[in-house]
Structure 1
Amino acid sequence: MAKQENGYKANLGSPSLILIFIVMCLITFGMLSLSTAKSEHNLAERNASAVTEYYRADGEGEAFYQMVLKRAAKVREMSQDPQERKRLLSQEFGDAYEPDKGTVTVNIPMERSQALNIELVFPPEGKENIQISKWKVIQTEDYEIDHSMPVWTGGETKNQETGR
């Protein structure tokens, strides 16, 4: 009689495939996590750079504001006549002063084609406080949208019309 084998053979095919599949999934998720972490890190660095640049320009803006306050006080002491004050302010601030509007405007350059635009308004006669009219970041270069990539607009294409 033929010998009968008692016992079980270890079936390693299915568990090995499942283990390989699990390891591949873990590697894929790990790579995706690393990629996301790198993107988040780069975004955080760009954000920190933008904030640092804004506060640098803001500090320069504060220095400009203090300089305008001092020079305006000096002009007030020199003359009480409104026309004479406008002439003196034009001498003090040059092209930055607009006598018609009674404003002093400056653009403090920043990175990425931006500038901090500051506009200060001189008060009407009798008041001494200089008002801040604008204090905002503006784009200094025109932004052009890239239309070089053809995008489907929703209409039928030639292939749909001919059925190919």
Structure 2
Amino acid sequence: MKNSARSENSRKSLNSIGLSSLLVIFVVLASVTLSVMCLITVRQDLDRAKRLAVTHEEYYSADTKATEKLDSLYLLLANDSVTDISAAARELGIEVTGGTRENRILTFSWSETVNSGSRLVCKAEYENENLVITSWKIISNNYYEEENSLPVWNGESLPV
């Protein structure tokens, strides 16, 4: 009897040691897994934040250059001694359409490169001695080109 009681006690202690070991191993594995997932997420967030910072820096650099051209344009228009505004604006790198200062609406447009994929396009109109900004936006340089198109069914015959 003593042997069977002893073997049962040793079995129970082995089972309890085995279950607690498995529980500890599971907790350690779960902790390591969650730690690795958190580390990966933090690194992705850091990379995303760095890319966002670079993008903002590129945009505000282009915005500063465009604003400097706008300031130069304001000074040019305020100077009454300048007779040919179109030529003076072109010297600043600003495209001009329209007539002269006295008789028509002048449209000024210029752009600054933000990065290889986009540029900042600015437009302003000058009428009745007022300069109004009509557009200040980012335009993508990436153009979609169709490579392989499928014929569209016209409702009458099946495309071949």
Same fold, judged at TM 0.5 (above): yes
**1:119 pairs with 2:123:** yes
Opposite residue 142 of structure 2, the aligned amino acid is E
Separation in 2, partners of 1:112, 1:78: 36
Runs of 5+ consecutive residues of structure 1 not aligned to the other structure: 80-87, 148-164
Structure 1 runs (4+) greater than 4 angstroms displaced: 1-8, 143-147
For 1:129, the equivalent position in structure 2 comes to: 130
Opposite residue 140 of structure 2, the aligned amino acid is Q
What's the offset of the Cα at 1:6? 9.8
Runs of 5+ consecutive residues of structure 2 not aligned to the other structure: 100-104, 149-160
Residues 21 and 49 of structure 1: CA distance in aligned 2, closer, same or farther (over 3 Å): same
User: By percentage of residues, which structure has more strand?
Assistant: 2
Which residues in structure 2 correspond to 1:67-82 (within 5 Å)? 67-74=72-79, 76-79=80-83
Range that drifts further, 4-13 or 38-47: 4-13
Cα RMSD after superposing both structures: 2.7
Which residues in structure 2 correspond to 1:24-103 (within 5 Å)? 24-74=29-79, 76-79=80-83, 88-94=84-90, 96-99=95-98, 102-103=106-107
SS at match of 2:122: strand
Residues 14 and 146 of structure 1: CA distance in aligned 2, closer, same or farther (over 3 Å): farther
Structure-1-length-normalised TM-score? 0.71
Separation in 2, partners of 1:13, 1:144: 64
Residues 123 and 13 of structure 1: CA distance in aligned 2, closer, same or farther (over 3 Å): same
Residues 35 and 144 of structure 1: CA distance in aligned 2, closer, same or farther (over 3 Å): farther
> Is the Cα–Cα contact under 8 Å of residues 76 and 82 in structure 2 kept in the other structure?
no
Match of 2:108 among 104, 108, 133: 104
For 1:142, the equivalent position in structure 2 comes to: 143
What's the offset of the Cα at 1:7? 9.7
Share of identical aligned residues, percent?
Answer: 22
* Deviation readout 1:108-145 (Å, 9 max, x if unpaired): 00114111111011123xxx331111111111221469
Residues 31 and 145 of structure 1: CA distance in aligned 2, closer, same or farther (over 3 Å): farther
Separation in 2, partners of 1:63, 1:2: 98
